[in-house]
């Protein structure tokens, strides 16, 4: 056979292997508003950069007439490419081929590209669109998932791992994403559940739609399983590219710095953001934008546990992870979900050499039977653990309230913040003035001719004595009380001089965080 005819045969084979599940299945996919697996990869990666591998892999299953079925690429595309000019490893499950279900060879393809990513120290992107373990392949598909979960865990904190949920993902198809750093979902397209509505109905008799059980909004706002929510696949891909512009390739590198044009010492007016009445809420994102380069802030888990705001910004060109109490929701209190949300993000930043900026304004941990029974002790402790073990530069600014355990937990001097600054509006105390006055002056208040007047006087007395930054500053727990308009200048300087920070935690195999 001549080279030409061999080349033609190769082309024919490639066309066949790249054909997915056939026209009918592709039509169904498109009718659901979904791109095909190949279109997704092409849309996400830099133009013409996708290099596919293992196109000719086929399944080896025999049972349930599987030996008579051809599954193109065994239902998954794998390869390498560039994103924003940087190398990445990628896979995309093809729902048009046996529902993207994961058989043994399908898993082998994914495992192979995961091994490449870890070996080459580049990020891994997984586009998930799968009905889970391929039922016909029995334990071999479970084995495949096990191999994937193991690698997800080994790669955790070494290379960025991104999961994109673009279809109904069930069973094993949701556990790999849960082990990765960031999960992206798209309205109406993404669904995630361990067991679907039909199983729930037959086992428990409960009826629920797929959307209400595990739709994009459910995971972005209620469960916290998703970190980014988009209205369309296109918007989702833009979000992924934005995220990649902020983070490093691996844990040996720092994120790329972007030179800035704006002055390091840009000032802003506190009056326009923080209300003069300390009980009034404000949007902490306005403070973040006032500090960040070009007022950009890339928020993460924006719809979940909104009493804490987390996200990434650049300050003086450098990527910074921001954790801020959000007074607009529940007065910025810490609870089970907000502690989980912040603690995981702190560990992400620490693993990938991203300095942490913490903005504090909270009345403490949320009291209540629900929270106590939901394990606020265990979950709240995650925040203490994450901040304490983090060795990246840690800069804290106390904006207003820093009461009780909340003061300690929000990256205080005692958890080894490198720099703690406080605005003159800061109130650092064991608890709020009203609660404190009621306890320590109870006798005087009860015995007074006018208890309300006496209570007010004692609240004022307490405020003057303790609800300010100067007592903490007198003990050196605050490094500087600063004018709000100078916040950016102080942070920029702190970041600049922390660039070569080196601290080591005690030598150990690993800690035992309150998971
Ligand atoms: C084999 C599967 C499959 C699976 C879907 N298909 N899931 N084949 N194994 N797990 C096939 C269907 O038979 C169908 O094939 C095609 O994919 C499209 O599926 P449809 O049902 O027609 O699509 P849709 O109506 O959109 O429903 C999608 C779905 C549903 C919600 C995902 O297919 C479903 O519920 N699948 C089973 C989900 C599940 O229970 N998975 C858990 C597996 S156990 P044809 O030939 O008709 O086109 C597991 C354990 C791992 O994952 C545990 C790890 C911890």
Residue 65: predicted pLDDT:
84
Band the pLDDT of 268: cuts 50, 70, 90.
Answer: low
Rounded-to-10 torsion of CA 10, 13, 17, 22: 140
Shortest-distance Cα residue to atom 16 of ligand 1: 99
pLDDT tens across 133-185, in order? 999 999 999 999 999 999 999 999 999 999 999 999 998 899 999 999 999 99
pLDDT tens across 319-332, in order? 999 999 999 999 99
Shortest-distance Cα residue to atom 20 of ligand 1: 99
Atom of ligand 1 nearest to the CA of 99: 17
Identical fold for domains 3-246 and 270-431+468-497, yes or no, is: yes
Comparing CA positions, the residue from 48, 40, 101, 43 lying closest to residue 71 is: 101
For 351-388, give one letter per residue: b (16+ CB within 10 A) or e. bbbbbbbbbbbbbbbbeeeebeeeebeebbbbbbbbbb
Atom of ligand 1 nearest to the CA of 25: 48
Comparing CA positions, the residue from 111, 104, 102 lying closest to residue 134 is: 102
Residue 463: predicted pLDDT:
84
Residue 265: predicted pLDDT:
62
Our separate counts of H helices and E strands in the chain read 20, 17
Q: How far apart are CA 288 and CA 326, in angstroms?
A: 11
Residue 278: predicted pLDDT:
84
Q: What is the CA radius of gyration of the chain?
A: 26
135 lines ligand 1 (CB under 6 A): yes
214 lines ligand 1 (CB under 6 A): no
DSSP states along 390-405: --S-EEEEEEEEEEHH
pLDDT tens across 7-19, in order? 999 999 999 888 8
pLDDT score of 474 more than 90: yes
Asked if residue 380 lies in contact with residue 365, where contact means CB atoms within 8 angstroms, the answer is yes
Shortest-distance Cα residue to atom 33 of ligand 1: 131
Q: How far apart are CA 96 and CA 91, in angstroms?
A: 15
Asked if residue 88 lies in contact with residue 72, where contact means CB atoms within 8 angstroms, the answer is no
**For range 304-320, the mean pLDDT:** 97
Q: How far apart are CA 398 and CA 237, in angstroms?
A: 36
For 298-336, give one letter per residue: b (16+ CB within 10 A) or e. bbbbbbbbbbbbbbbbbbbbbbbbbbbbbbebbbbbbbb
Band the pLDDT of 221: cuts 50, 70, 90.
Answer: very high
Q: Which segments of 3-120 are extended strands (E)?
A: 51-53, 76-83, 86-93
Which of 21, 33, 99, 106 maximizes ligand 1 atoms within 8 Å of its Cβ, making it the mutation to test the pocket?
99
The mean pLDDT value of the chain amounts to 94
Residue 70: predicted pLDDT:
87
Residue 515: predicted pLDDT:
87
Band the pLDDT of 388: cuts 50, 70, 90.
Answer: very high
Domain ranges of the chain: 3-246, 270-431+468-497, 433-466
Minimum mean pLDDT range among 332-341, 373-382, 463-472: 463-472
Residue 271: predicted pLDDT:
62
98 lines ligand 1 (CB under 6 A): yes
Report how far ligand 1's centroid is from the alpha carbon of 102 (Å). 10
145 lines ligand 1 (CB under 6 A): yes
The CATH class for the domain spanning 270-431+468-497 reads: alpha beta
Shortest-distance Cα residue to atom 55 of ligand 1: 172
26 lines ligand 1 (CB under 6 A): no
Half-sphere exposure of 181 (CA within 13 A, CB side): 29
CATH number of 3-246: 3.90.226.10
């Amino acid at each position: 056979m001549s080279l030409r005819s061999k080349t033609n045969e190769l082309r024919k084979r490639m066309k066949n292997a790249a054909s997915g599940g056939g026209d009918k299945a592709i039509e169904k996919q498109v009718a659901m508003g979904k791109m095909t697996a190949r279109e997704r990869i092409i849309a996400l990666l830099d133009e013409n950069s996708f290099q596919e591998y293992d196109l000719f892999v086929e399944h080896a299953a025999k049972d349930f007439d599987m030996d008579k079925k051809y599954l193109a690429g065994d239902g998954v595309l794998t390869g390498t490419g560039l994103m924003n000019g940087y190398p990445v490893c990628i896979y995309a499950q093809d729902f048009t081929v046996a529902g993207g279900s994961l058989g043994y060879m399908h898993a082998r393809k994914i495992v192979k590209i995961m091994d490449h990513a870890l070996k080459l120290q580049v990020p891994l992107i997984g586009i998930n669109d799968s009905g889970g373990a391929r039922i016909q392949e029995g334990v071999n598909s479970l084995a495949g998932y096990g191999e994937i979960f193991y690698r997800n865990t080994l790669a955790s904190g070494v290379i960025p791992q991104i999961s994109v949920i673009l279809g109904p993902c069930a069973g094993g198809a949701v556990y790999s994403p849960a082990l990765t750093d960031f999960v992206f979902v798209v309205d109406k397209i993404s669904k995630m559940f361990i067991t679907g509505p039909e199983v729930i109905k037959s086992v428990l008799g409960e009826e629920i739609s797929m959307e209400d059980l595990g739709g994009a909004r459910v995971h972005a706002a209620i469960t916290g399983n998703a970190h980014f929510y988009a209205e369309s696949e296109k918007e989702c891909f833009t979000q992924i590219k934005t995220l990649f512009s902020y983070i490093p390739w691996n844990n040996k590198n720092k994120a790329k710095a972007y030179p800035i044009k704006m002055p390091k010492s840009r000032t802003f007016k506190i009056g326009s953001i923080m209300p003069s009445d300390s009980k009034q809420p404000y949007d902490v994102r306005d403070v973040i934008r006032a500090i960040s380069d070009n007022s950009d802030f890339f928020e993460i888990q924006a719809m979940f546990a909104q009493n804490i705001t987390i996200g990434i910004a650049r300050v003086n060109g450098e990527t910074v992870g921001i954790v801020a109490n959000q007074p607009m929701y529940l007065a910025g209190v810490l609870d089970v979900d907000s502690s989980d949300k912040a603690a995981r993000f702190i560990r992400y930043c620490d693993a990938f050499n991203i300095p942490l900026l913490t903005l504090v304004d909270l009345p403490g941990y949320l009291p209540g039977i629900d929270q106590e029974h939901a394990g606020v002790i265990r979950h709240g402790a995650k925040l203490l653990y994450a901040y304490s073990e983090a060795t990246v530069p840690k800069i804290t600014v106390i904006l207003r309230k820093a009461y009780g355990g909340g003061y300690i937990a929000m990256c205080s001097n005692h958890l080894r913040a490198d720099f703690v600054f406080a605005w003159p509006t800061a109130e650092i105390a064991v608890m709020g003035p009203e609660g404190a006055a009621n306890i320590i002056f109870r006798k005087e208040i009860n015995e007074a001719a006018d208890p309300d007047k006496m209570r007010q006087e004692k609240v004022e007395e307490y405020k003057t004595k303790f609800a300010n930054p100067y007592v903490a500053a007198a003990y050196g727990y605050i490094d500087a009380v600063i004018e709000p308009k100078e916040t950016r200048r102080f942070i920029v300087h702190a970041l600049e001089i922390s660039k070569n920070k080196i601290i080591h935690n005690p030598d150990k195999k690993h800690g035992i965080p309150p998971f």
